[in-house]
Structure 1
Amino acid sequence: MSTRLRARRSGAALEIREAVHPARLLLVAKTTLAVGLAWTIAPHMPGITDEYPYYAPLGALVSMYPTLMGSLRSGLQTLLGLATGIGLALLVVITVGPTWWTIPAVVGVGMLISGTGWFGAAREYVPVAALFVLIIGGQNADDYSLGYLVQMAVGVAIGLIVNVVIAPAPLTLAAAARVDAFREQLSAHLHDIGSAVSESWPPEHEKWADDAASLADTTSALRAALADADDSRRGNVRARGRRGETQHIHADLTRLDRVAHLIRDISDEIADTIWDRPGALELDPALPEPLSAACHAVAEVIGQEEPLTAADHRARAEAARAIRLLLETVDVRTIDVRRSMGPGVLAAMHLRRILILSGHREPDEPAGSDAESSGA
């Protein structure tokens, strides 16, 4: 129970930090400004549209996203959804008119159309717009439809202008920081495995086994964060130059994803052995010590922040030596007891692969890639 309570508190603290993050506060300020401008401008629109000024702030609100492309996409999809819903409603008005059965029928048709995927996050506006035109518009459905659509378009336009003038910062650095944190998480998890197999047998704590299941979720969340970072650079004047590049971050995440799969495999195999799950193979008493040393050594390599330093070279040499000693122990015990050292073989193979994958990118790799592409 205490572990769950700590996890909930940690999650709540993270949500609070995200709510007051500078990028989030900037979005709040821009949204407030856009809504205020929309409400100020809306009453001055020509014709009948000035009778529906309250839809302009709504248009500004729905168009405000953390990225420029997100704002443009949301605004256009909202207007498309509104136009479609209004078109359905007007079709009813000029034919049979709003009745006890045409209103729910047109809402149902709107729901079906909204499920096509054309409208993105604004898909709810298709049936909502149709319903509003038939119920609120009533006898003045044509005037209401025009005012509704025009004022929403005004709000969307104001929101886009505000987002362009006050361009949001690219999310590249934040995504890179999260990838670095994931690397540290993988290092810590492998350290936990090393500690688990070297303590009293069977290990008393199970947290390392539970944490392994969360690695895949973390990878998925990081890919979404990188997609947002790429989206934040499109059309953003603050992303010009090399500062916003994400190619090397994608490459790092791909490597770390493969490392995570290998660590999860090691964790699952050892957990099967510890708790005697179906398909488990016995861990020879001579293996925990060299296996623990190899896990700790490879974890140190994963956790290295600076590439091509003396500390990095020493860590890699120590890891290679620890894996070699583990393999030697596996070979000796296989001959002595004349049976397979299953968990030891799998762990040694995976640790060696992790060591290879953890090789750091050369500092001039992006420059070399650019040179090749320009030469082509």
Structure 2
Amino acid sequence: MRILSTERPVASRLKSWLVHPRLLLAVKTGVAVGIAWLIAPLMPGVADDYPYYAPLGALISMSPTLMSSVKHGVQTLAALAIGILLAGIVIFLAEPNVITISLVIGVGVLIAGSRWLTTGGDYVAVAALFVLIVGGQNADAYSIGYLVQMSVGITVGLAVNMIVLPPLNFSAAVLQLASFRTQLSTHMREIAAALVETWPPEHEQWAGRSGALAETADEVRAAVRHADESRRLNPRARLHQRDLNRDYEDLTALETMTFHVRDLTGVLSASIWEGPFPAELPEGLREPLSTTLCAVADVLIARNDGKDLTPSVTAADDALVTLLARLDDQSDLSPSSLSPAASVAMDLRRILAIMRQADAQSSEQS
């Protein structure tokens, strides 16, 4: 039995590695480069003298998504053509020297920053430099061979990417969104636990996690964007349809909730330890705050589990009502003593409103 329990994780890891998108991309890139190298010597005319640029073109054109592969390939060819044209102007008007080469490279770098050349723009300056320095006296032949062989390689790369279609990245986006909800829920539960510990609490990791939450939000947005790009021009998207607009809406809701979670984290940490601003949290409000934080965290977990949010939202609303009632009972205290708890209560109310709205939109779209 011990041998089986050891083999299963190894087999699972091996399977996940074998189906990893990066491995597929690596295999396709190797195949595309090999095919380009075989085809390159078959090109007629002067292009036959520069076969090594075909594998380079194939390498450049391979990307994790079909859309990015097409975009990178087309923009690289456009950049090469512009660079060759710049070099041709120098050769026609003046001799290549330190001044003219420097001037052309500077212009090429400026053009590379254009919004029309977002991925292959760097090849403007590269092409101009190669034509002027490597091409030399045979600049015309070199330019033709360079452009033709790069075109061959890019065409081969796009063909391989079309034959063996890149995978869709929907699952990664869904997992990232679910993981983000779990992280926010866990964070709020840790704050809730700290509020009912012996004061001041011993557990304070949550107080310094505000930046990590923002970084996670950026990572999740990148995952959703990658999933969106992976379906463009990809025939697989017709067989595996997914409403990514809903994922973007979920992401926007989570980003807004993260803002409020970071806000209440700063307020509560300042009320426990010395912070950038004075804050005080009355002892009688710590327990209802803890209860409400846990209840709101439960809503996020229910959303992850695909459950009906009504029971968890109702429970969170009840906890919030109790918290607000406790705030009213503390009316004898100064407003400055109540403001931190009131601020946190408002953040929790907004988070609940966001969850309620997101659930309503999801129900309408279903």
- Answer yes or no: same fold by TM over 0.5: yes
TM-superposed deviation, 1:19: 8.6
Query: How does 1:136-285 map onto structure 2 within 5 Å?
Result: 136-241=134-239, 243-285=241-283
Structure 1 residues not aligned, in runs of 5+: 1-16, 368-376
Question: Which residue of 46, 49, 56 corresponds with 2:44?
Answer: 46
Query: How does 1:30-69 map onto structure 2 within 5 Å?
Result: 30-69=28-67
Q: 1:115 to 1:102 in 2, by over 3 A?
A: same
Secondary structure in 1 matching 2:119: helix
- Provide the residue aligned with 2:353 in structure 1: 356
Match status 1:325 vs 2:319: no
TM-score, normalising length: structure 2: 0.89
Q: 1:79 to 1:175 in 2, by over 3 A?
A: same
Alignment partners' CA distance in 2, 1:20 and 1:258: 37
Match status 1:366 vs 2:365: yes
TM-score, normalising length: structure 1: 0.87
- Point out the more displaced range, 59-68 or 320-329: 320-329
Alignment partners' CA distance in 1, 2:334 and 2:266: 25
Alignment partners' CA distance in 2, 1:339 and 1:93: 78
Q: 1:94 to 1:146 in 2, by over 3 A?
A: same
- Provide the residue aligned with 2:7 in structure 1: none
Q: 1:353 to 1:108 in 2, by over 3 A?
A: closer
Are the counterparts in 1 of residues 271 and 279 from structure 2 also a CA contact under 8 Å? yes
Q: 1:109 to 1:338 in 2, by over 3 A?
A: closer
Using the aligned pairs only, state the percent identity.
Answer: 45
Are the counterparts in 1 of residues 67 and 233 from structure 2 also a CA contact under 8 Å? yes
- Point out the more displaced range, 239-248 or 184-193: 239-248
Query: How does 1:1-40 map onto structure 2 within 5 Å?
Result: 22-40=20-38
Q: 1:291 to 1:131 in 2, by over 3 A?
A: same
RMSD between superposed Cα atoms in Å: 2.1
Q: What are the Cα deviations for residues 297-331 of structure 1, in whole angstroms up to 9, with x where unaligned?
A: 2111111123444xx54433332222222111111
Alignment partners' CA distance in 2, 1:177 and 1:252: 13
Q: What are the Cα deviations for residues 240-266 of structure 1, in whole angstroms up to 9, with x where unaligned?
A: 156333121111111111111111111
Are the counterparts in 2 of residues 89 and 133 from structure 1 also a CA contact under 8 Å? yes
Alignment partners' CA distance in 2, 1:242 and 1:168: 13
Alignment partners' CA distance in 2, 1:31 and 1:244: 28
Are the counterparts in 1 of residues 36 and 153 from structure 2 also a CA contact under 8 Å? yes
Structure 2 residues not aligned, in runs of 5+: 1-14
Counterpart residue type for residue 349 of structure 1: M
- Provide the residue aligned with 2:3 in structure 1: none
Match status 1:120 vs 2:97: no
Alignment partners' CA distance in 2, 1:166 and 1:100: 46
Are the counterparts in 1 of residues 210 and 262 from structure 2 also a CA contact under 8 Å? yes
Secondary structure in 2 matching 1:327: helix
**How many residues are treated as equivalent by the alignment?**
348
Alignment partners' CA distance in 1, 2:83 and 2:334: 74
Q: 1:87 to 1:42 in 2, by over 3 A?
A: same
- Point out the more displaced range, 288-297 or 354-363: 354-363
Are the counterparts in 1 of residues 246 and 362 from structure 2 also a CA contact under 8 Å? no
Query: How does 1:60-99 map onto structure 2 within 5 Å?
Result: 60-99=58-97
TM-superposed deviation, 1:224: 2.1
Are the counterparts in 2 of residues 233 and 244 from structure 1 also a CA contact under 8 Å? no
